[in-house]
Amino acid sequence: MGKVQAILCFYLQIAQSIDPINKNIKYSSSVISNLALSLAITVWVSEYLYIQLYFAFYNQVVTMSKSPRYIQIKTYISDKISAHEWVPGHKIPTELELTETFNVSRMTVNKAIRDLVSDGLLERTPRLGTFVCQKKAESPLTDIRNIADEISQRGGEYSNKVLSQRSIVADDEIAMRLGVMLGTQIYFSEIIHFEDNKPLQLEIRWVNPEYAPAYIQQDFSQATPNEYLSQNCPLSTIEHTVEAIIPDAKTQRYLNLSANEPCLLLNRRTWSKQNLISAALLYHPGHRYKLSSRTHL
């Protein structure tokens, strides 16, 4: 404390010499003690924070120095992406530049980048370079979730556009999909689902009106078909098939895809108890969407 008081007195003397109005002011020992205490606390807190930051940095350096060099490069790149310093679409340094930065062989850099490409963080474009990937939306393959809820849970903004919602007559293909007689009146809907105003899914659905008679009257701009059917026809069985396709011109337009850009097509049928309720074709842009599955053995 004595050292801090001496420093404080020194600064007070300087202040008095600079400010002639206050040069005759006498500071009592109690005032100096209180100011010294405040200064001491400030100094101690600053030193404590400095020590914490020093050891945090030291531990990080030690940890990285013990890691294989390609892991260090992966960590460097993934940290840049996590901190949003490198946003989706950003071109990362070339392999040669990373080789010079980390003083490693090009093979080491190549392994780090290949791993990050496999992890879905980076993508390589021939003759252009390596770029940070657009984050892909992900849905479980062995479950059915409301797409509006999925988007909200990812922090996105959900919206949709209802293209069609009407009663139609089942032709051969639709009758087979839905398990009804040829010529049966069924319900049909076609909706584009958006995440942050970008098309994420084109949903084409056929519904058996015997089990969901009010389907055609629903306002699907407020609640999705999945939400309505889940509430009124509790799910008991699902059937999924997945394929990668080049969609037709209409689907390309709805999903804002280029002419040769693939999409993921999920062919789904759902049952409630023993009753086949609906059949749907769900189209997703391949570059923005992926399906996942986990099985416990």
Place of tokens 């749907």: 280
pLDDT tops 70 at residue 156 = yes
The CA-to-CA distance between both ends of the chain, in Å, stands at: 67
Asked if 279 contacts 268 with a C-beta cutoff of 8 angstroms, the reply is yes
Asked if 169 contacts 185 with a C-beta cutoff of 8 angstroms, the reply is yes
Q: How would DSSP label each residue in 9-38?
A: HHHHHHHHHH-GGGTTPPPPHHHHHHHHHH
pLDDT digits (tens, 9 = 90+) for 258-284: 888 888 899 999 999 899 999 999 999
Q: What percent of the chain has pLDDT over 90?
A: 43
| Burial of 136 (C-beta count, 10 Å sphere; 0-12/13-18/19+) | middle
pLDDT digits (tens, 9 = 90+) for 7-46: 555 545 544 554 444 445 455 556 555 655 666 666 666 6
Q: Model pTM greater than 0.75?
A: no
Q: What percent of the chain has pLDDT over 70?
A: 71
Secondary structure of residue 43 in the 3-state scheme: helix
| Widest Cα–Cα separation across the chain | 106
Both tokens of residue 197? 């105003």
